[in-house]
Amino acid sequence: MRRTWLLGLGFFSISITWALYNAFVPLFLDPYVSSVALIGFMMTIDNYFALFLQPWIGNRSDRTDTRFGRRMPYLLIGMPLAAVFVALVPYHTGLVTLVLFMVLMNLAMSIYRSPTIALMPDLTPDAKRTKANGIINFMGGVGGILAFGGGSILYRNSQSAPFLVAAAITLAAMVVLLLVIKEKRDALSYTPAERQGRIRLRGELDRTTVLLLLAIFFWFVSYQGVEALFTLYGTNQLGLEDSVASFSLTFFSLFFVLFAIPSGWLGNRFGKKRIILIGIAGLVLVFGSITFVESVFMLRVMLAIGGVFWACININSYPFIVSTGSEQSIGTRTGLYYLVSSLAAITSPPLLGLIVDEFGYGSLFYCASLGMVVALLFVLLVKNEGKTVEVKSNGAEVAG
Neighbours of 108 (CB within 10 A): 22
CA dist 388 and 346 (Å) reads 33
pLDDT tens for each residue of 147-169: 777 887 888 888 899 999 999 99
For position 397, what pLDDT does the model report?
A: 42
Q: For residue 6, what are the CA distances in angstroms to 215, 255, 302, 325?
A: 31, 23, 33, 26
Between the alpha carbon of residue 55 and those of residues 135, 332, 335, 346, the distances in Å are 24, 6, 4, 16
Residue 318, number of CB atoms within 10 A of its CB: 25
Give the separation between CA 13 and CA 147, rounded to whole angstroms.
Answer: 10
Cα(193)–Cα(203) distance, rounded to whole angstroms? 13
Examine the pLDDT at 392 and tell me if it is beyond 50: no
Nearest to 11 by CA among 117, 108, 132, 130: 117
d(CA 81, CA 170): 10
State how far the Cα of 1 lies from the Cα of 120, in Å rounded to an integer. 11
* pLDDT surpasses 70 at 394: no
Instruction: Give the mean model confidence (pLDDT) for residues 350-376.
Output: 91
Closest CA to 25 of 105, 144, 107, 118: 105
Residue 399: band (very low, low, confident or very high) from pLDDT cuts 50, 70, 90: very low
Q: Where in the chain is the domain with CATH 1.20.1250.20?
A: 2-184, 204-387
- The CA-based dihedral angle spanning residues 221, 223, 224, 228, taken in that order and rounded to the nearest 10 degrees: 130
CATH top-level class of 204-387: mainly alpha
Chosen CATH of 2-184 out of 1.20.1250.20, 3.40.50.150, 3.30.450.20, 1.20.5.510: 1.20.1250.20
Within 8 A by CB and 6+ apart from 295, the residues are: none
Query: pLDDT band at residue 97, thresholds of 50, 70 and 90?
Result: very high
Enter the pTM of the model.
0.80
Is the pLDDT reported for residue 52 higher than 50? yes
Least confident range of 1-10, 160-169, 185-194? 185-194
Q: What 8-state DSSP symbol labels residue 200?
A: P
Residue 209 clears pLDDT 70, i.e. is over it: yes
CA distance 269 to 313: 15
Mean pLDDT of the chain: 84
Flag the least confident range among 29-33, 195-199, 216-220, 270-274: 195-199
